[in-house]
Amino acid sequence: MSILVCILLASFAILVAHGWRPSFHLQHLSSTPRHSSAPRQLIDRRFAAPTADGELRDAALDLGEGGSAKAESRRGHLQYAAALAGGLLSLPALSADAASMQRPTLDLPPYSLDTSKAFEVKTRSWEQPSSLPVIVTPLSQDERTDALRRWSVRDGNTIVLMGEHHNAPEDHRLQAALIAQMEEERQKGSNGKLPPIAIGLEQVQVDFQPILDGYLSGKYTDVDLYTKTEWATRWAWPFDAYLPIFQLAKKRGLHLIALNPSTEDTSAVVSSGLEGLGQQARDKFIPDPLGFRDQTRRPGFKMYVDEVVLPSYGYHANAGLLGDNPTPANFFAARIVRDEAMAAGAVQHVRDNPGSLMVVLVGSDHVKYTYGCQDRAARLGAFYKLPDFQVWSILLNPTPIDSVSDSSQMRLALTRGPFPLPLADYLWYSNAREVVRPSELILEASRKRARL
C-alpha cells in the first residue's frame, strides 16, 4: 500500500477518533420535514448564544424578512448545484449546441462595480476578553477600490479566490467586472512591470491547458474552446456565462490556467480511494504529502468536515449519486484531493511567475470556511518558500444556504472552538441593496456576550 493511501487512511482515522460520524448529517439531509425535532435541534445547536458553561456557538447574520422562505425554496436546487460543484456528477450540456451558442461581447457586465456592495469579515479568538468571534465591516466605494488596488499592485505573490455559484450569471458578470478593474489597477500601479493577471479555472480540467493556451494565442475560437475542452460533459454549466471572462483574458493578454483534475481521476478516487489514483497523478496533485496529511490535524478541521464536507456527502449518498456502495472515506478523499490539486496548481503558477496575481474562479464550497483551497494554498506557499505570499478569499453573492445555515441568518464563522473559521475574508454582492445588517449582528452578539 502506497504512502499516500496510508496517509489518507490515517487522516480519516484521526477524524473518526475525534468523533467524526456521517450518520447525523445523513439524517439531517433526508426527507424529514423542516419542523421535525431533528432539524430543530440542529438549528438550536447552531444558533444559540454562548452558554454559561462556555460552550461556543456560531455567529449568525440576519438577512431580514423573507430570507428563510427564500432559503427553503432554493435548498433543493442549490444542493443539486453543490453536487455538480463537487465535480462528482456529469450531466448533458446545459448550454445550446456549439453552433447556436450565444456570443456575449466585452460590453458585459451591464453594471458598474459602483453599484456593488462588499463586507470585510474578521474573526478573533473567544479567549480575548470582551471580544466578538466575528466582526463584519461594510466597505465604502473607496474602500472597495482600495482593496482591489491592494491586491493588484503589490509586488509580492498573491492569490485571490472568488467563490461562485456556477449557475448564476450575476456571479460571472461580477467576476468579469472585478478582474477588469484589478487589471486596470495593476497596469496603472506598476507601469506594466508586473506579470499579467492569471485566471485559475475550476471549470477546465488540467489536461486541456493546451486548449486554453491555443485560445489565448488566437489559434482557437470561442466555439473551439467550448468543444475542445469537452465543456458540455466535463463541466455542464452554461459556457455562455463564462465567455465574457475568457474574452476579457484574450483581449487584455491575461493567462488562463486549468486547475481541475480530470473526471477520470476524480471518479477513480470516489470509487477506490487514493489507491485508484495513479502515481503520476498523485505526485502532480499532492506535491506535499506530509502537509496534505497534517492538514487534517489543523485546528477546526474536524468542525469544517462535519459542517461543510459531510452534508455534501449526505446529499450525494441519499440521492444515489455515489453508486451502490458509497463510503464517506472515499468521498472525503475525492473532496480533499480536488481542493489540494486546485490549490497546488494555483500556487505552482505563482511560484513559476514571481510577482504574480492569480484570481481563482471556483465554487463557493471550495472557498468557504478556510479549509477548502485557502488554507491549502497558504500551506503550499510555505512549502515552496514563496516570499511575501498572501491568499485572500471572496464569496460572491452569498446566501444563508452557502453558509450552511438552516434559517434566514448567515453564519459568518464556525465558532465551536477557540479559533473561529470565517466564512470568507470578503463578501461581495452585485448590487447595493441591503442584504445584510452587520451592525445588528454586532449589537446582538454584544448583548449575548454580556449575559455570560
Domain ranges of the chain: 3-450
Q: What's the rounded mean pLDDT across residues 294-317?
A: 86
Task: Give the cell for residue 172.
Answer: 460571472
**Range 31-59 average pLDDT:** 29
Q: How far is CA 18 from CA 15, 27, 82, 373, 422, in A?
A: 5, 20, 27, 23, 22
Residue with more model confidence, 75 or 151:
151
* Contact (Cβ atoms closer than 8 angstroms) between residue 364 and residue 402: yes
Strands 117-123 and 134-139, sheet pairing: antiparallel
Least confident of 70-84, 175-189, 277-291: 70-84
Q: What does the pLDDT look like over 407-438, one tens digit per residue? A: 788 888 887 766 788 999 999 999 854 454 44
Beta-carbon contacts of 338 under 8 Å, excluding residues fewer than 6 positions away, are: 86, 87, 260, 261, 266, 366
Q: Position 221: which residue type?
A: T
From CA 302, how far away is CA 332, in angstroms rounded?
Answer: 12
Number of separate helices (H) and strands (E) present in the chain = 18, 12
CA atoms within 13 A on the CB side of 183: 20
Closest CA to 430 of 79, 64, 109, 68: 109
Nearest Cα to 240, choosing from 172, 174, 178?
A: 172
pLDDT (0 to 100) of residue 19: 45
High-pLDDT (> 90) share of the chain, %? 47
- Alpha-carbon span 181 to 405, nearest angstrom: 32
Q: What is the pLDDT at residue 69?
A: 34
Q: Confidence class of residue 6 from pLDDT cuts 50, 70 and 90? A: low
Name the E strands within 167-294: 198-205, 255-260
Rounded to whole angstroms, how far apart are CA atoms 255 and 198?
A: 4
**Kind of pairing, strands 389-396 and 157-164?**
parallel
Position 246 scores a pLDDT of 97
Q: DSSP label at 277?
A: S
Nearest by Cα to 405 from 30, 88, 74, 84: 74
Please report which confidence band the pLDDT of residue 299 belongs to, taking 50, 70 and 90 as the band edges: confident
Predicted local confidence at residue 7, as pLDDT: 55
The CA distance from 343 to 375, in Å, is: 9
Crossing angle of the two packed helices 328-352 and 3-17, in degrees rounded to 10 = 120
Q: Is the pLDDT of residue 445 over 90?
A: no
Average pLDDT over residues 374-379: 97
Torsion of CA 33, 38, 39, 44, to 10 degrees: 150
- 363 forms bridges with which residues in the sheet? 164
User: Residue 91 pLDDT more than 50?
Assistant: no
pLDDT averaged over the chain?
75
pLDDT in tens, 188-223: 887 778 899 999 999 999 999 999 999 999 999 999
> Residue 360 pLDDT more than 60?
yes
CA distances, 314 to each of 27, 104, 306 (Å): 8, 38, 11
| pLDDT above 80 for 449 | no
Q: Which ranges of 398-437 does DSSP label H, i.e. alpha helix?
A: none
* Gap between the Cα atoms of 92 and 168, Å rounded: 18
- Residue 421 has φ and ψ, to the nearest 5°, of -100, 115
At the second CATH level, the architecture of 3-450 is 3-Layer(aba) Sandwich (3.40)
Would you state the pLDDT for residue 102? Answer: 43
Measure CA 296 to chain center.
Answer: 18
Of 259 and 20, more confident: 259
